[in-house]
Amino acid sequence: MSAARLRLLFIGNSHIGAPRLAYAADPLRWPDWEIDFLGMLGGNFARLDLVGGALVPTNEKLAAEMQYYNMVRRLEVGGYDAFAIVGGLGWTGMAALCAAHRSLGFPSVMAGATGVQLVGRQFLDAALRERFRKSAAGRLRQRLDSLGKPVLILPEPMPSAECTAARARYAAYVDMVERGDAQFWRDWFRRCAEAELGRAAQVLFWPEAAAIAGAYTRPELMRGAMRLTPHRDQPQPETDFAHGNAGYGAMMMDQIMAALPR
Amino acid sequence: MPRHVRMAGPFHDRVRVHMSVTMSHPYSDLPPSAFWRPAVARMRADRLERLYDPKFRLTVNSAVATAGSCFAQHLGRALRRAGLAVLDAEPAPPGLGADFLQGHGFNLYSGRYGNIYTARQMLQLLEEVVLGRPDPAQVWERDGRWYDALRPGVDPGGLDSAEEVLAIRLGHLQRLAPMLASADVLVFTLGLTEAWRCRRSGRVYPTCPGVIAGSFDPGRHEFVNFTYPEVTEDLHRLRRVLHGFNPAMRLLLTVSPVPLAASATGGHVLPATQYSKATLRAAAGDFASAYADVDYFPSYEIVTNPAARGGFFAGDLRQVTPAGVAAVMRVFLAAHGLKGRKAAEVAAEDAEELICEEALLEAFQR
Domain ranges of chain A: 6-259
- Which residue does chain A place closest to B103, by CA atoms? A123
Give B23's pLDDT tier (boundaries 50, 70, 90): confident
The amino acid occupying position A262 is R
Span B120-138, pLDDT tens digits: 999 999 999 999 999 999 9
Residues in chain B: 366
> Residue B18: pLDDT above 60?
no
DSSP output for B20-84: HHH---TTTT--GGGSHIIIIITS-TT---S----SS---TT-EEEEEESTTHHHHHHHHHHTT-
Give A151's pLDDT tier (boundaries 50, 70, 90): very high
Query: Which is more confidently placed, B306 or B17?
Result: B306
Closest CA to B137 of B56, B184, B205, B57: B205
> Residue A1: pLDDT above 80?
no
Beta bridge partners of A55: A50, A75
- B303 Cβ neighbours under 8 A, 6+ residues apart: B257, B312, B313, B320, B324, B327, B328
Residue A199 has what pLDDT?
87
What's the ipTM? 0.90
Residue A164 has what pLDDT?
93
Give A75's pLDDT tier (boundaries 50, 70, 90): very high
Count residue pairs from A and B with Cβ separation < 8 A: 57
Contact residues, chain A, for B213 at CB < 8 Å: none
- Tell if the CB–CB gap between B95 and A100 is shorter than 8 Å: no
Contact residues, chain B, for A96 at CB < 8 Å: 93-95
> Residue A122: pLDDT above 70?
yes
- Tell if the CB–CB gap between A120 and B164 is shorter than 8 Å: yes
Contact residues, chain A, for B163 at CB < 8 Å: 104
A38–chain B nearest CA distance, Å: 27
Q: Output the CA torsion B37→B40→B43→B48 (10° steps).
A: 140
Count the alpha carbons within 13 Å of A130 in the hemisphere toward its beta carbon: 18
Residue B311 has what pLDDT?
96
Q: What is the largest CA-CA distance in chain B?
A: 83
Residue B342 has what pLDDT?
55
Q: In angstroms, what is the C-alpha Rg of chain B?
A: 22
Percent of chain A with pLDDT over 90: 90
> Residue B20: pLDDT above 70?
no
> Residue B101: pLDDT above 90?
yes
Query: Which is more confidently placed, B337 or B1?
Result: B337
- Which residue does chain B place closest to A100, by CA atoms? B93
Q: What does the pLDDT average to over A232-259?
A: 92
Query: Which is more confidently placed, A200 or B123?
Result: B123
State phi, psi for A42 to the nearest 5 degrees: 50, -125
B154–chain A nearest CA distance, Å: 10
Percent of chain B with pLDDT over 70: 87
- Tell if the CB–CB gap between B157 and A93 is shorter than 8 Å: no
Give B2's pLDDT tier (boundaries 50, 70, 90): very low
Mean model confidence pLDDT for chain A: 94
Span B141-165, pLDDT tens digits: 999 999 999 999 999 999 999 999 9
Helix orientation angle between B162-182 and B119-131, rounded to the nearest 10 degrees: 100
Q: How far is CA B220 from CA A100, A104, A223, B125, B199, in A?
A: 38, 31, 67, 20, 5
Question: Which listed CATH number (3.30.70, 2.30.30, 3.40.50, 2.30.38) goes with A6-259?
Answer: 3.40.50
A127–chain B nearest CA distance, Å: 7
A20–chain B nearest CA distance, Å: 30
Give the nearest partner residue to A96 out of B94, B155, B167, using CB atoms: B94
Contact residues, chain B, for A119 at CB < 8 Å: 168
Contact residues, chain A, for B94 at CB < 8 Å: 96-97
Alpha helices, DSSP H, located in B119-200 = 119-131, 162-182
Q: What does the pLDDT average to over A111-121?
A: 96
- Which residue does chain B place closest to A132, by CA atoms? B96
Q: What does the pLDDT average to over B204-213?
A: 95
Q: How far is CA B75 from CA A38, A191, A203, B307, in A?
A: 47, 39, 44, 22
Residue B14 has what pLDDT?
47
Mean model confidence pLDDT for chain B: 90
Give A228's pLDDT tier (boundaries 50, 70, 90): confident
Contact residues, chain A, for B145 at CB < 8 Å: 122
- Tell if the CB–CB gap between B168 and A100 is shorter than 8 Å: no
- C-alpha B334/C-alpha B53 separation (Å) is 10
Q: What does the pLDDT average to over A51-69?
A: 95
- C-alpha B332/C-alpha B89 separation (Å) is 24
- C-alpha B221/C-alpha B207 separation (Å) is 12
> Residue B49: pLDDT above 60?
yes
Which burial class, exposed, middle or buried, applies to A181 when counting CB atoms under 10 A from its CB (0-12, 13-18, 19+)?
buried
- Which residue does chain A place closest to B157, by CA atoms? A122
> Residue B27: pLDDT above 50?
yes
